[in-house]
Amino acid sequence: MGKHVTVEDVKRDHAVQAMIKKANEHVLAMGFNEHGLRHVDLVSHIAYNILDRLQFPERDKQLAAIAGYLHDIGNVIARDRHGISGACLAYPILLRLGMPPDEIAVVLGAIGNHEEEHGEAVSPVAAALILADKSDVHRSRVRSSKDPAQFDIHDRVNYAAVKSFLAVDSDNRAITLDITIDVKITPVMEYFEIFLSRMIMCRRAAEVLGCRFGLVINGNKLL
């Protein structure tokens, strides 16, 4: 039958910690923004909170938190299709920790489907992970040593995001990403240039949770 593995069990696992830290080093070497312990811990908390606000069962909330914490470990192998490789890495870890196969399957489906290029919100857990992951847009993720004037578009958009918050309104079944962008650093249009596919994915994920997705930038409702 397995046991009720919690996100705290996963966080204490030495293999998980090692893979997250090395994965973050690897994406830094490739020139990508931060994908380390700060990011996965935040995504884990947001994914849990989304399902909590929408009054999902506690076990679903825990599985979302676990998926959020493990979702980027595939970066330790390669950036391309890291969701799929991450799911493959997560399977023996969760099995070793004693999670029952039916729950492992839910977590693997969420991890393997969180990339916008080829992912889908295949379950409420997967939907919560997608929304949590795509909402982490903030200047703290930028690790470039270059002068901000020389940032590429991805660094520029993240650096310009001085605040981001994912609001869940359970009464009106609405999930809204509220972002404050410093337009002196980048115009709002550049956000859409690189993140439009992510916002479409978030809209579909919100629909799986029975909600509408909205985007507010600098106080203006855009979606």
Mean pLDDT of 33-44: 93
Q: CB of 137 within 8 A of CB of 159?
A: no
Q: Cα torsion at 179, 184, 190, 191 (round to 10°)?
A: -10
- Asked if pLDDT for residue 146 goes beyond 70, the answer is no
Mean pLDDT of 80-93: 97
Residue whose C-alpha is closest to residue 41's, from 10, 77, 87, 14: 10
Type and span of the H or E element at 165: strand 161-169
Mean pLDDT of 82-101: 97
Confidence of residue 204 (pLDDT cuts 50, 70, 90): very high
- Asked if pLDDT for residue 178 goes beyond 80, the answer is yes
Tell me how far apart the alpha carbons of residues 126 and 124 are, in angstroms, rounded to a whole number.
Answer: 5
Backbone angles phi, psi at 98, to 5 degrees: 100, 15
Task: Tell me the pLDDT of the chain averaged across its residues.
Answer: 94
Dihedral (CA of 71, 75, 77, 82) sign: positive
What pLDDT is recorded for position 142? 87
DSSP bridge pairs for 220: 217
Confidence of residue 116 (pLDDT cuts 50, 70, 90): confident
Confidence of residue 118 (pLDDT cuts 50, 70, 90): confident
Mean pLDDT of 179-197: 92
Residue 65 burial (CB < 10 Å; 0-12/13-18/19+)? buried
Q: What percent of the chain has pLDDT over 90?
A: 81
Confidence of residue 223 (pLDDT cuts 50, 70, 90): confident
pTM higher than the cut 0.75: yes
Mean pLDDT of 159-184: 96
What is the CATH code for 7-221? Answer: 1.10.3210
Mean pLDDT of 56-72: 98
- Asked if pLDDT for residue 5 goes beyond 90, the answer is yes
- Asked if pLDDT for residue 145 goes beyond 80, the answer is no
- Asked if pLDDT for residue 203 goes beyond 70, the answer is yes
- Asked if pLDDT for residue 20 goes beyond 80, the answer is yes
